[in-house]
A and B are shown apart, each in its own frame.
Chain A
Amino acid sequence: MTAIPLWVRRPAGERVGWLRTVDHKEIGVLYIGMGVAFFAVGGLEALLLRAQLATPESRLVDPSTYDQAFTVHGVTMILLAIVPLLVGFANYLVPLMIGAPDVAYPRLNALSFWLSLVGGIILYFSFLAGGAPDTGWFSYAPLAERSFAPGPGVDYYILGLAVNGAGTIIGAINLTVTILLMRCPGMAISRVPLFVWMTLVTTILILGAYPALTAALVMLFVDRQLGGHFFDPAGGGQAVLWQHLFWFFGHPEVYIMVLPAMGMISEIIPVFSGKPIFGYRFVAGSSVAIAFLSFGVWAHHMFAVGLGDMENAIFSATSMLIAVPTGVKIFNWIATMVGGRIRLTTAMLFAIGFIAMFVIGGLSGVSLAVVPIDLAVTDSYYVVAHLHYVLFGGTMLGVFAGAYYWFPKMTGRLLDEGLGKLHFWATFAGFNLTFLPQHWLGAVGMPRRVFTYAASTGWGPLNLVSTIGAAILAVAMVILAVNLVRSLRSGEVAGDDPWDAFTLEWATSSPPPPENFPVTPAVTGRRPLWDRKHPELRDPS
């Protein structure tokens, strides 16, 4: 009995084009391209918001446009920019890092990318079809019900997110099975690179969290299109059910967005410190602890709802608990750097920036887990500042670190270090100027999601500073774009292993051949390439 493969690899050397490709590297690049494009669009939306808020009582945009802009900005950055960027890196790197020729299901991989993209296009189509959703990215009921949001915007939100989510779930199944079954000989689960570990934990989070969002979207659809009453208090339903389901997805989603970035800097910091990661098992194990705890903290988004003191106390405690495994990682990264031969490349600068900014975001997060503090600043700019320190200061700086680190592997050329450092410092300055003042704005009571404010509030100067910061941040992104385009055309040729790195992706050519490795590698330790280059210094296996 002969086995017929379910898919056929394209012949080596032949390209089938971006529309038909099933190669994990090309699909990874497609994902990253999608993420970059939506990051640019979401960034422009953010600039519009900041321009409107620069001065009090501004009439640059009308309230309805403002509502659409902040809603779509949130959905775009979270689901159409950050998640595709991270999934893209995982798609590209995981098979290379574990010595596999591709992911477990290459054709399914293409399907998940195209579903993710089409979901995004459906969401944006709403602008042409009568108005974008304007109910915030978490689209609380009953505001999102038909009686309060009669336009088609929320319907496009439902459909777009459901399709995008299906793509993400399918992608997560693919990566889970790839990591569990496709590792090369010797690549025990206790030896896989930490980026692979974090990706595995992330995919498990996706599989547990996204279906809850899909279920909530289906219920909202039933309410809006079939006259149902799930979240409709007038018909006996409970609006708070939406919040429970949404945040059961929404909080793990935060870790879905941050764990892969943590995985990236867990690869970058050891290489540029010239040392193995400090406490591999703790870095990997703390991710599992974070994943486990992240399913038990969702109601900290709902302290102001009035669930009751006991519920609030429990969720407050679990939320503080999650700071422990997160702190473990911070100490591991710092301990990796201590005593190392540190090379301050752009990638390393961004990785260190990640640690600094993420600590601020993490600490403001712990403060928000304290119920009385949360009650005082809930739905204020303090929360906006916090989440941007986590998602921009954390995740995006990690993604930039990853971009400078792996760009040479993906393209064969190095990104320019001079422009890179300019990009880093402009990002660092612009980011802090934008979001640090928002802590004070929130603390003195400026609510989020208001399209303007009275001059008598005194919020004008800090808002102006924040807007100036956003402009600097925009300049930083232009520097990045120039660097990407210039380096792609005429950057320094990288070679296979420009960073003297440790892991398998650097053992093959840059960019790698379609089959990744000419022969299946066999490994004996956590740093296979290092062991090969320095047999006398190899890690004990």
Chain B
Amino acid sequence: MSETGFVRGERIPPAVSVSLGRSATIGQDRTLLGVAVFIASESVFFLAIVLAYLAYRDAGLVTAKANLDVPRTAIFSVALFSSSATMAMAARRASRGWLVATIALGTVFLVGQGSEYARLLASGIGPGRELFGTTFFTLTGLHGLHVLVGLVALVALLAAHMRRPYALRPVAFEAVGLYWHFVDAVWVVVFSVVYLGTLL
């Protein structure tokens, strides 16, 4: 019995249990669980935007078919998809090299998206041009912003690892990785709905 009259409870701080070397699971680690819960709410956000895109898909289909370059975007998409693999390697080994590879692939993807935006805007298609422009730029733009945020997180992780590698909890890699995989997974949906949808 203690001064509060309660039996003293044993609590192992999550930070300690994680640094024992075992891989943390989402159900035990507060950092990972927080990211997972955040991703769940982000999914609702993207779901709403994707549904709006689908609701207006037919109205914009002609413009989409005439202006979207599916093979070119597919190549840049492969860069983003493979960055999930490099991220997984980075998290497994706490590896700086794989982290740099992930950042590079993410940047390649954003450059691809930027060049596509430039081409579309040059041909007069912007967010104000028909429902296609409105829905296309909103959906892909919001995804692009999420990629950008992911890149910032990756660079911050890299910087932290370069400064004090042993001070960084391994879960930091897994947490950033979880978010990065989510951004990647959203692109699977967006690419299918927006680009592959024009082939139907």
Query: A173 and B34: CB pair below 8 A?
Result: yes
Task: Pick from A212, A215, A508 the residue with the most CB of B within 10 Å.
Answer: A215
Known contacts being A4-B167, A218-B142, A236-B56, is A518 close to B3, with CB within 8 Å?
A: yes
Q: Is the interface of B mostly helix, strand, loop or mixed?
A: helix
A to B contact number (C-beta, < 8 Å)? 147
Nearest chain B CB to A240 CB, angstrom units = 10
Q: Does A460 contact B (CB under 8 A)?
A: no
Nearest chain A CB to B62 CB, angstrom units = 12
Q: Does B42 contact A (CB under 8 A)?
A: yes
Q: How far is the CA of A182 from the CA of B34 in the complex (A)?
A: 13
Q: How far is the CA of A521 from the CA of B195 in the complex (A)?
A: 56
A517: B residues at CB distance < 8 A:
4, 6
Query: A181 and B28: CB pair below 8 A?
Result: yes
**B78-86, B123-131, B176-184 - interface stretch:** B123-131
Query: B6 and A523: CB pair below 8 A?
Result: yes
B9: A residues at CB distance < 8 A:
99, 184-186, 519-522
Q: Does A169 contact B (CB under 8 A)?
A: yes
Known contacts being A173-B38, A173-B41, A211-B42, is A235 close to B2, with CB within 8 Å?
A: no
Query: A236 and B131: CB pair below 8 A?
Result: yes
Contact with A along B28-53 (1 / 0, CB 8 A): 10100110011011101100110010
Q: How many of chain A's residues have a CB under 8 angstroms from any CB in B?
A: 56
Contact with A along B1-42 (1 / 0, CB 8 A): 011111111110111101101000000101001100110111
Query: A3 and B41: CB pair below 8 A?
Result: no
B19: A residues at CB distance < 8 A:
1-3
Name the CB-closest residue of B to A103.
B30
Query: A226 and B128: CB pair below 8 A?
Result: yes
A105: B residues at CB distance < 8 A:
30, 34
Known contacts being A185-B11, A230-B134, A238-B55, is A207 close to B37, with CB within 8 Å?
A: yes
A241: B residues at CB distance < 8 A:
52, 55
Q: Does B169 contact A (CB under 8 A)?
A: yes
Q: Which of A172, A208, A236 contacts B44 (CB 8 A)?
A: A208
Q: Which of A209, A222, A507 contacts B138 (CB 8 A)?
A: A222
Q: Does A245 contact B (CB under 8 A)?
A: yes
B5: A residues at CB distance < 8 A:
507, 532
Q: Does B118 contact A (CB under 8 A)?
A: no
Name the CB-closest residue of A to B16.
A3
A104: B residues at CB distance < 8 A:
30, 34
Query: A520 and B8: CB pair below 8 A?
Result: yes
A2: B residues at CB distance < 8 A:
19, 166-167
Query: A532 and B6: CB pair below 8 A?
Result: yes
List the 9 closest pairs (A to B, CB-CB), nearest first: A227-B128, A522-B9, A185-B9, A215-B48, A211-B45, A228-B134, A521-B6, A3-B15, A211-B44
Using A208-B44, A520-B9 as known contacts, list a sample of 17 further A-B pairs with CB atoms less than 8 Å apart, ordered by residue number in A: A104-B34, A105-B34, A172-B41, A174-B34, A207-B41, A208-B41, A215-B48, A226-B128, A228-B127, A230-B134, A241-B55, A507-B4, A518-B3, A518-B4, A519-B4, A521-B4, A521-B7
Tell me the A residues contacting B by CB distance below 8 Å: 1-5, 99, 104-105, 169, 172-174, 176-177, 180-182, 184-186, 207-212, 214-216, 218-219, 222-223, 226-230, 235-238, 241, 245, 248, 507-508, 517-523, 528, 532
Tell me the B residues contacting A by CB distance below 8 Å: 2-11, 13-16, 18-19, 21, 28, 30, 33-34, 37-38, 40-42, 44-45, 48-49, 52, 55-56, 59, 126-128, 130-131, 133-135, 137-138, 142, 166-167, 169
